[in-house]
Every structure is written in structure tokens, then in C-alpha cells.
Amino acid sequence: MNPFSLGGQVALVTGANTGIGQAIAVALSQAGADVIAAGRRDCGETLALMGQVSEKAGRGLRLDFSDPMAACDLFASERIDILVNNAGIIRRADAVDFSEADWDEVMDTNLKALFFTCQAFARAALPRGRGKIVNIASLLSFQGGIRVPSYTASKHGVAGLTKLMANEWAAGGLNVNAIAPGYIETNNTTALRADPDRSRAILDRIPAGRWGRPEDIGQTAVFLSAPASDYINGAVLNVDGGWLAR
């Protein structure tokens, strides 16, 4: 058996319409999974990319996690073996000016929705005795950052919940782990990469000497979804080119 094959597995990837979520959906599809690409917006581009690497067509699903319970009924109606919680938002303002609305919106999407989606998945998967959850954390699961108080709080929470759920569910056959991406070439970092001084400062801190690519996160998600990671529980895996080791 290929320990990195996802053949016969059904995976749900949230926030899969672009960026890191899109790369994860494509990588899981390439590894043999039947992928449900979920997002607030149309995932047609992601499905087209999946079609280039796999004979499995995959399918799109509209899910808006501004409603934290948006996916809670999904797992009772069909078997899903792998859950990747990538959907997330960010709001920026100085901490002294940060609004309650921006706090609640980010926490609802990034943390509350993640927990209750995991809970619904576990209720369906625990009786089967097997399942994989991959949460997308952040470097700000470990660092404070600036001007993103609710995002930092939510990503610290993702790391903590990942460990808690692993503690409770590992004996039932569920692996719960997280990926903490570093600075990745996505739409969210376009402005940073376009600023020569800021980009150079970032690259000078990264031992690998380059920005990460979405595929770097996608392949890590394949590993944490595959049998090769069956004895990994509660890990938050930094995929950052060595940023946190600096």
C-alpha cells in the first residue's frame, strides 16, 4: 500500500476557491481523493485545476462560515473521511481602535466555525473509527503580530483546539493536526511582495531564502491526510521555510 495515497477517501476542503485552500484541494485530488471544494465564492477554477491532475472531477459546494454552523448538517448525509479547515478571514486595525464587530466576525469564521465543523465531523467519524482533520493555523498561532488582534487570538485558538481535539479523539481513530503556513505567495501577500523593502526584510528572516508556494502547504496537507501520518496527533506543523527557527 502506498502510505501517501488517498485513493478511496472523500475530502472536504473549506475556503477552496483560491490560494492555499485551492492548492490543498488540488493536491488531495492528485493524491487520489474525491474532493469537495467548498467556499463562499464559486470554486470553478479550483475544480478545473483538479481536473488537470486527476480523473476524478470533484465537486463544488457553497459554504459561508460567517454562519459558524454552516457545515454542521453535512456529515450526517454523506461519508467524509478528511476535513481540511482552511476558511478564514482577517481584519486590520490598531488594538486601541479595533471594533467589536470585526472581533466577532473573525472569531466566528476562524474559530467558532472551525470547532463546530470539527465537532460535526467527529460525531460522524468516531463510530467508523477513522478520520483525518487538518486545521490551518498560522505563524500567529505562536507570535503576536500587529494590528490583527482577533486574527491572532483566533489562530492561537486553532492551535489549542487542535491539541484538545487530538487528546479526546485520537483513541477513537481520529487524527487531528494543524499546519502553520509561513509567508506564502498568494493574493493576501501581493502587497508585501510588491514592496521591495518589506519583501527583502521578510526574505532575510527566512532561512530557505524564498517565499513559500501554495503547493508547499498542499503537499503537507496530503501527508497529514494520508496513512503515513497515522501516528501524528495534535501537531502544529510549521511550513515556513524556517521562519520560526530563526
Residues with catalytic function = 151
DSSP labels for 121-133?
HHHHHGGGT-EEE
Q: Backbone phi, then psi, for 8, in 5-degree steps?
A: 80, 0
The DSSP code for 212 is B
Dihedral angle sign, alpha carbons of residues 70, 76, 80, 84: positive
Q: What is the dihedral of CA 49, 50, 52, 55, to 10 degrees?
A: -160
Question: What count of other Cβ atoms lies within 10 Å of the Cβ of residue 147?
Answer: 14
Buried b (16+ CB within 10 A) or exposed e, 1-16: eeeeebeebebbbbbb
What is the rounded distance in angstroms from the CA atom of residue 240 to the CA atom of residue 220?
12
What is the distance between the alpha carbons of residues 148 and 140, in angstroms, rounded to a whole number?
9
- C-alpha cell, 196: 521591495
Instruction: Count the residues in the chain.
Output: 246
User: What single letter denotes the amino acid at residue 107?
Assistant: M
Distances (CA, A) of 117 to 32, 68, 69, 114, 139: 24, 8, 7, 5, 22
